[in-house]
Amino acid sequence: MIMKQRAANSISSQSSLLSAPVIICLLGVIIGASYYVNLWKMGSDGLSVVSHTTPYWDFNNLWTGGRLALEGHVNWLFDTEKYRSEMRSLLGPNLPPQEWSYPPNMLLIGAPLALFPPIIAYLIWTLGSLLLLHIAIKPFKLPTVLHLIVLLSPAVFINALLGQNGTFISALLIMGLYHAPTKPILAGICIGLMTIKPQFGLLLPFILIASQNWTAFISASVTALTMAVLTSLFFGFDVWSNFLNHTQPMMRGIMEAQYPQHYHTNAVPVFIFARAMGAGLMGAYFLQAIISVFAILIGIKLWHSSTNINHHYRVALTCVLVMLATPYAYTYDMVALGTAIVIMFATADRLVWLPAFAPIWLLPLYNHILVSQHPKLSFGAICLVLTFVLLYLTHHHQKLKVLR
């Protein structure tokens, strides 16, 4: 009830500004929907004329990996040429090269999905992730329009367009953070499930320790260990050594490749920003390490029992810190960041420097165009830092208002 009143008050107090945010959000929906419709325009080879691959794009990997695992050929995931050959035999001979890039526990999701034809599996994955995001944000009791804005954000569109896991991971993150104080076992399960994308868990153990939430910490650890054991039992214990010896070095090579690469057009970490500015590997790692350490220290402060802060603010700020802490993230991973902006908009009387959020909100829709034409303009990391600063200032403004 309190949240609804605050959200209503927030919208009422920003009535003179609300038209602009709504226009920006509608613009995002229109552009995102047009991207999606164009993606499904098929050529004579059965592939999208836009992506030159299937219209479910990166989902090819999740489905193919799951299919090969079901057929008892899990080792082919770690033989790049064999994997590509099998993917083409399953999904089409003209597919561009792709690689299996996930930890082995991702097969616990990929294998069940591969029981269905690719298009059905893609719909289950995409709509299921959207449903999970709906469930994750429901406790915030956002007004209906803001709830829909989260579900139709630019990052969600890009995630669906690429068949990626950003919406799924963001939903788990939001649920884990929100329920940590009151439902620590559920929170731990959500955080443990996030080990399918381990780079987004760098910050989370620190905040659980800082809040002395040992129940959530143990729940997350047990969940992660259970997933590892089940993966080993279903797909063989050697999947882990194959992952460490093949997939991990391959992905590190992709991350450390000379800038720019085609996939850098969607990259947003500080690490990539440093590379775009001309830094070498060591310089980029050093800058990323500084930002990551600061993100962890701020997260510890936010979640320490001595810090008096509205829990919704804490969740929103932590979602942004998680993005800042990782050296490997893309625009489709910005679902939680977009959610954080909406949560703060609904909870606070006003957002500090509201117009600045327009280019941040729309970034997933134009970043690939901007960076492909001008590689030096890789400003995703600047948007992440600016989002945190503005949301923190919004929290600080609310705190001062209460003190007055």
| 85 is a domain residue | no
d(CA 136, CA 394): 23
The total number of structural domains that make up the chain: 1
Across residues 31-35, what is the average pLDDT?
97
pLDDT at 396: 87
Confidence class for position 6, pLDDT limits 50, 70, 90: low
Q: Is residue 289 part of a domain?
A: yes
Residue 241, domain member (yes or no): no
Contact 239, 210 (CB under 8 A): no
Q: Return all residues near 2 (Cβ < 8 A) that are at least 6 apart.
A: none
Q: What is the mean pLDDT of the chain?
A: 94
What are the DSSP calls for 323-386, one per residue?
A: HHH-S--BGGGTHHHHHHHHHHHHHSS--TTGGGHHHHHHHHHHHHHHHHH-TT---HHHHHHH
Percent residues over pLDDT 90 in the chain:
91
pLDDT of residue 17: 46
Q: Is residue 88 part of a domain?
A: no
pLDDT confidence band for 205 (50 / 70 / 90): very high
DSSP secondary structure code for residue 301 in this structure:
H
* Rounded-to-integer distance, Cα 69 and Cα 76, Å: 9
> Which domain covers residue 271, as residue numbers?
2-42+119-222+259-403
Kindly state the tokens that stand for 117.
């034809």
Q: What pLDDT sits at residue 3?
A: 52
CA quadruple 322, 325, 328, 329: dihedral, nearest 10:
40
User: In this structure, what token pair is assigned to residue 61?
Assistant: 């990997």
CA gap 48, 50 in Å, rounded: 5
| Residue 336 domain-assigned (yes or no) | yes
pLDDT digits (tens, 9 = 90+) for 337-360: 999 999 999 999 889 999 999 999
CA–CA distance, 155 with 295 (Å, rounded to integer): 22
Residue 267 lies in a domain: yes
Residue 82 pLDDT more than 90? yes
pLDDT at residue 395, rounded to an integer: 92
Q: What is the pLDDT of residues 108-154, one digit of tens each?
A: 999 999 999 999 999 999 999 999 999 999 999 999 999 999 999 99
Name the CA radius of gyration of the chain, rounded.
21
Interatomic CA distance for residues 136 and 343, integer angstroms: 12
Q: Give the pLDDT confidence score for residue 400 in this predicted structure.
A: 55
pLDDT tops 60 at residue 11: no
253 lies in some domain: no
Check residue 22 and give its pLDDT: 87
Predicted local confidence at residue 13, as pLDDT? 45
**What is the full DSSP assignment across 86-141?**
HHHHHH-TTPPP----S-GGGHHHHHHHTTS-HHHHHHHHHHHHHHHHHHHHGGG-
Model confidence at 87: pLDDT above 90: yes
DSSP letter at 246?
I
Q: In 3D, which of 161, 194, 163, 162 has the Cα closest to residue 177?
A: 194
Q: How far apart are the first and last CA of the chain?
A: 24
Q: Residue 182 carries which DSSP code? A: T
For 42-72, the pLDDT digits (tens) are: 999 889 999 999 998 999 999 999 999 999 9
Distance from C-alpha of 391 to C-alpha of 395, rounded to nearest angstrom: 6
pLDDT digits over 300-327, tens only?
Answer: 999 999 999 999 999 999 999 999 999 9
Quick check: 360 and 341 in contact, CB under 8 A? Answer: yes
User: Is 63 a member of any domain?
Assistant: no
